[in-house]
Structure 1
Amino acid sequence: MTSAKPPVFANADAAAIDLHVLDQDTCEDWLAAAPAMTANWARTNGFRGAIGQVVVVPAPDGQPAQVLVGYGRAADRARKRFNLAAAVPSLPKGIYRLAEGVAEADRAAESLGWLLAQYRYDRYKSGGDADTHLVAPEGVDAARIEALAAGEFLTRDLINTPAGDMGPDELEAAARDLADQHKASCTVIQDEDLLQQNLPMIHAVGRASDRRPRLINIKWGNSGPTLTLVGKGVCFDTGGLNLKPGSSMALMKKDMGGAANVLGLAHMIMALNLPVRLRVLIPAVENSVSANAFRPGDVLTARNGLTVEINNTDAEGRLVLADALALAAEDTPDLLISMATL
């Protein structure tokens, strides 16, 4: 399903171009101590060390000898994150190595930002692979950063996929793929079985679609504290009988963003083999319009026995999450995290 290639660092032995990351406040001091050709080239190109500024210093054969990258001022960096990544789109194709300028405490975050800047969603077009690669800086746990970036890539791919190709079936398939990758279990309660197993509001919200509603349940880990992640998986939200206007419906492929986020986070947890007992619950539905859609004024009974009067069928997310959260709470996990879209 996914389009983006897994984000990885370049081989440590690869021939790499040195990146000199320069603070704006000390940039001129650095240039004053640099070889005259380098300093003149940088000044001629207006380099001042602002965030995202890039100057490629050529070798005699015209190939990049080194690259100067602006890092801004400390106060600028404090208000942002992944400051080094701002330069990535301006870098020529190649493999890079940090030569100086990024404090040891910041290298992990800046390395993660670099990998995230490689993301491309090209399922429907040929966008080409990312072509600026970084050698993992000294002191950085490369495997950990790659796992974090891969989880983020998974989340972005799921959200970016149009609803026509990312319904409850496809979301289930992505969850099963993830479970298989990490040797986790994945079970699914679907359609009328939702009523038999007392998940009535998930069924009510999704019953109007021919893409059948379901609850996805992933379990992983045998020791440690219990962690349950619940993610809203409304694969498309028309608003139901309280139909959304077209302008509000345009981005409703993202209404499964909570599910995408918990799957991405679950990948990070399992890839890093964190000492937890993980559970992921995703109510996966499509809120559609048909003769059997739930209606304004209906009163539904939730899993926990509470009755819910429907004032607006565009409040579907809280309904499916209510059943999933009630189920999650029955196991009294040590930590329960719920992610929706808004």
Structure 2
Amino acid sequence: MEKKLQITIVIGTLNRPSVVMSLIGQLVEESKKIRLEVIVVDQSTPDNYKELTKKFPKQINFKLTHFDKPNTVKYLNYGWTHSKAPIVLFLDDDVTLTDDTIKAHIGAYKNSSINGVAGRVINDEEKISQNSNVGNINWFGAIFNKNFSYSKKIYVDFPYGCNMSFGKEVLKDLNGFDEKLSPPIYAFNEIDLGYRINKRWKNSILFSPKALVYHHQYKRGGTRNDFNPEDIFYGNQFNYGYFLGKNFNWFENIICFIRRLPYQLIKEPKAILSILKGLICAKRFKGFKVSKFKSLEPSNLITFQPSNLQSITAVIPAKNEENNIERCIQSVLWCDKVLVISTGTD
């Protein structure tokens, strides 16, 4: 009888085939000791993808797919939805494992209260943190503490995206990563997911020092893939506002803004407008109410009633259940009193 897989490892890579092959080489060796599968989502140019296909392992448990357009949250969601194991580990392509990394991720789930593991991360040339405020959110999102090089176990609010694992059923329950986050690097995806997990299951994300990776943060490829720095900055700020608007109420938002305002005015005043845009976008999206759900062939007809607009109708693919409507809606655009919804079918 074939033994069940213990863990699925999902890796996204972008225009650095030699870098990701170094990690894959480690995983080939790990696969001799641990029942695992590897899903690599390549988002590179055709030439870089072709180079990777030539080097990629032929083992049946190593799978390679290609996205024409880079999208972090889409590849993360592709990975867990196609995984066959009960635990899904997400790794950046530019990390180096230790002998204990994967075993520590798997071992943490022996405690049934654990829904996620934040692995320890030591970035190149980083000083080891002695600060026990690891991966936490303060003042309703005004302050984020990372300190993922810390060396002791602790419960956290969110993981470091380059080394994080979750139970597949938890990802399924929460509809995975939020695909409404803004490009080009889709920042705050792991913070948003971590917050949602802890909101439902308090103290269920464990920071595990033994689940260590060394993160090399190469200057080219990945999130440093020649994206316009200004686009990255404003996209990140929009996502910050979106995270605040989505996960906290207005009263909590006001407290957050009061706490953060001095920093924002002194350090990043140009970010304020993008933060507010993201926050308003999230609040408007939360204002949708499903008032009607009727089966049609081949589609389902959904009627929404936004709080500040007349009711509008959206056509959603029939395969999606009512509680998955949010995942279908990829973008919402406001133009005066006209609401246009773009829907996805994948």
Name the TM-score class by shorter chain: under 0.3
Q: Bigger relative contact order, structure 1 or 2, given CA contacts below 8 A and separation 6+?
A: 1
More strand by share: 2
Q: TM-score, normalised by structure 1?
A: 0.26
- TM (norm. structure 2) is 0.26
Larger radius of gyration: 1
